[in-house]
Amino acid sequence: MELSERKKKLLAAIVERYIATGEPVGSKSLVESLGMSVSSATVRNEMAELSALGLLEQPHTSAGRIPSELGYRYYVDHLMGQYELSPNEKRLIEAKLAPASGDVQKVLESAGNILSEMTRCAAVSTTPADDAAVVRRVELVPIGTRTAMIVMLTSSGILKSRVCKTFGEITVDMAESFYNIVNANFIGKPAAAMHIAKIQTLAVSLGEKSLDMTPLLVALADVAAMTERTELLLEGQSNLLGYKEYAENAYELIEFLRHGEMLGQIFSGYTNSGKSAPQVLIGQENRFRELQNSSMVFDNYEIAGHESGTLGLIGPTRMDYARLIPSLRYLTEIVGKMLSDTVEE
């Protein structure tokens, strides 16, 4: 819809004032704060027209106006200023992420903590998912005479491990045989192809080494299966208890977030290739009932040029979009760079 410049100015001011205070905005305070050379009556008329267009709502007869979901949408799409993180804010984010470098899950957990602290919203992320991920590295770490840890790194940056028991003592010769088998059959091959049927076929072909290798190879198949599963990480959900908008459904919302399956459905179909800003879902644009008085802002991070996972925020519809969206975008870029560096190393 086309709005006059005055209506745009008023709508932006009402959205930003309501985001800051959580209180309905009246015409008199708008005239005073904006320094407009028009009367309160003129502003009231403009506000009434914005309400008729569905961009504002009046919670009570004598109250001021608040943005509707459509009003927030118009603001995000057309009116919102582009907040720029300061060099100091960027350095602080990078410093907080640095200790987690080299570990995908710790990087994502740290990113979620940073987002939830910065925004006072709930932060959600997904670990990398890539059906085409290949096995980059496998390590056999003896932790006892007959106990070893199998560690696998994929091209998506996922690092998984599992402890297994062997039938015989772990020797240098056994370890050397294991590495020879892994290098010949699995390194550089898709992790998805490392299923138990292939392991069983391979074990049969090993002859006298089969007894020693089978527990290690079965554990390797289990680790490969673990790298294919996307995990959803949630941080800062208790922040939502501080918003009056959630007075009636806070417990229901937190339980919805805690289970995570539905959020995974939202993220699984989202791609952001070529877009300059994260995706924003406001109120009833969210298809799940538990999120319909909330907004979600989320973006994909890339590893080595491929979209691999998601970082996002969940909070009330009056969240500070102008500040949160650039913050999320910057953090997504930093996370992608850190995880790409981990894979390349």
Q: Which fold has domain 5-79?
A: Arc Repressor Mutant, subunit A (1.10.10)
Is the distance from CB of 199 to CB of 218 less than 8 angstroms?
Answer: yes
Compute φ and ψ for 129, nearest 5 degrees.
Answer: -130, 125
* Residues 311-336 pLDDT 10s: 999 999 999 999 999 999 999 999 99
Query: Helix, strand or coil for residue 80?
Result: coil
Q: Which fold has domain 135-228?
A: Enolase-like; domain 1 (3.30.390)
Please list the residue range(s) of the chain that carry CATH number 3.30.390.60. Answer: 135-228
* Residues 182-233 pLDDT 10s: 999 889 888 888 888 888 888 888 888 888 888 999 999 898 888 877 888 8
Please list the residue range(s) of the chain that carry CATH number 3.30.450.40. Answer: 87-129+231-344
3-state secondary structure 167-227: CCCCCHHHHHHHHHHHHHHCCCCEHHHCCHHHHHHHHHHCHHHHHHHHHHHHHHHHHHHHH
pLDDT of residue 276: 59
pLDDT of residue 270: 64
Question: Taking the model in full, what pTM does it have?
Answer: 0.79
Three-point CA angle 56, 59, 64, nearest 5°: 65
Per-residue pLDDT of the chain (345 residues; tens, 9 = 90+): 789 999 999 999 999 999 999 899 988 888 888 877 788 889 999 999 999 999 999 887 667 899 999 999 999 999 998 788 899 999 999 999 999 887 888 899 999 999 999 999 999 998 886 667 888 899 999 999 999 999 998 877 778 899 999 988 989 999 999 999 999 988 988 888 888 888 888 888 888 888 888 899 999 989 888 887 788 889 999 999 988 889 888 888 988 888 877 777 777 666 654 555 789 999 999 889 999 899 999 998 888 777 778 999 999 999 999 999 999 999 999 999 988 887 666
Nearest to 161 by CA among 147, 174, 172: 147
CATH of the domain spanning 87-129+231-344: 3.30.450.40
DSSP element (H, E) containing 268: helix 261-268
Is the distance from CB of 219 to CB of 152 less than 8 angstroms?
Answer: no
Please list the residue range(s) of the chain that carry CATH number 1.10.10.10. Answer: 5-79
Query: Helix, strand or coil for residue 164?
Result: strand
Q: How far apart are CA 88 and CA 110, in angstroms?
A: 18
pLDDT of residue 344: 67
> Which residue(s) pair with 137 in the sheet?
153
Helix pair angle (27-34, 5-21), 10° resolution = 100
